[in-house]
Amino acid sequence: MIEWVLLAYRIPRTPSSPRIAVWRKLERLGVARLGDGLVALPADARTREQFDWIAEEIGEAGGTATIWVATAGGAAQEQAVAQAMRQARAEEYRAVIAQAEAAAGGGEGERRRTAKRLQAELRRIDRRDFFPPEEREAARRAVRALSRTAGAGTGGTTWGGHTTGDGDPAGGDHTAGRGGRGTDGERATAASAAGEETR
C-alpha cells in the first residue's frame, strides 16, 4: 500500500469566494474526497506542498486545516479510492477524445485551435492522474492524430506529469488485463513513441 497525504479542513460558509477558490484548487489537484472536509492524494513532495499551501489559505480565510500522512486500513479500501480517482480521470480523458473526434471534421483553423486546447487540457489531466486509466493512451492518440491533420505540433508535450505509476495500489485487481507494474511499461512505450515522432 502507498502513503497518502490527507487534508482535514473546515472553512466558513460565508464569504463564499475563498471557499470556492479552495474547492477549485482541490478539484484541480484531483483529490479523493473521503468525507466532509477530508480529502486525500498519494503523498509525494509536490502533493504535500500543495496541501500545505491550501491549508495556509484555509487558515487565512478563517478556517482550520490539518495535514496528515496515512496509509489505508486495508488494501481493499485503498483500491476503492484509487479506482474512483481512476474513473474520474477516465471520464476527463473520454471528454478529450470526444472533443478531438468532433473537431476532426472541422476546418484546418478549428482543428489547430482545438488540438492546442486539448494538448493543454491533457497536460492538466496528466498532472492529477495518479492511477492512469486505459483511456489515457487513447486520449493522447486522439489529440496527436488531430494535431497531425492540423499540421500543428505532435502531442509529445503531454509527457511529464506527476503520476505515481509505480505505486499503483489498485494494480492488483487488474492482473487479468494490465498488472500493477504495467504502468511503467506503458509509459516507457509511450515515451519511445513520442521520441520517434519528434526525431
List of residues contacting another protein (CB under 8 A): 21, 25, 28, 45, 49, 52-53, 55-57, 60, 127, 160
- Coil, helix or strand for 127? helix
Closer to another protein by Cβ: residue 24 or 175: 24
Nearest-angstrom CA–CA distance, 149 and 171: 36
Closer to another protein by Cβ: residue 72 or 152: 152
Rounded to a whole number of angstroms, the minimum distance from the CB of residue 177 to another protein is: 31
Nearest-angstrom CA–CA distance, 68 and 84: 21
Nearest-angstrom CA–CA distance, 142 and 47: 29
Nearest-angstrom CA–CA distance, 101 and 146: 8
Rounded to a whole number of angstroms, the minimum distance from the CB of residue 52 to another protein is: 5
Tell which residue, 195, 170, 193, 194, has the closest CA to residue 181. 170
Rounded to a whole number of angstroms, the minimum distance from the CB of residue 113 to another protein is: 16
Closer to another protein by Cβ: residue 14 or 17: 17
**Which residue carries 506503458 as its cell?**
186
Rounded to a whole number of angstroms, the minimum distance from the CB of residue 69 to another protein is: 13
Rounded to a whole number of angstroms, the minimum distance from the CB of residue 31 to another protein is: 15
Question: What kind and span of H or E run contains 9?
Answer: strand 4-10
Closer to another protein by Cβ: residue 10 or 28: 28
Closer to another protein by Cβ: residue 25 or 178: 25
Question: What kind and span of H or E run contains 84?
Answer: helix 75-103
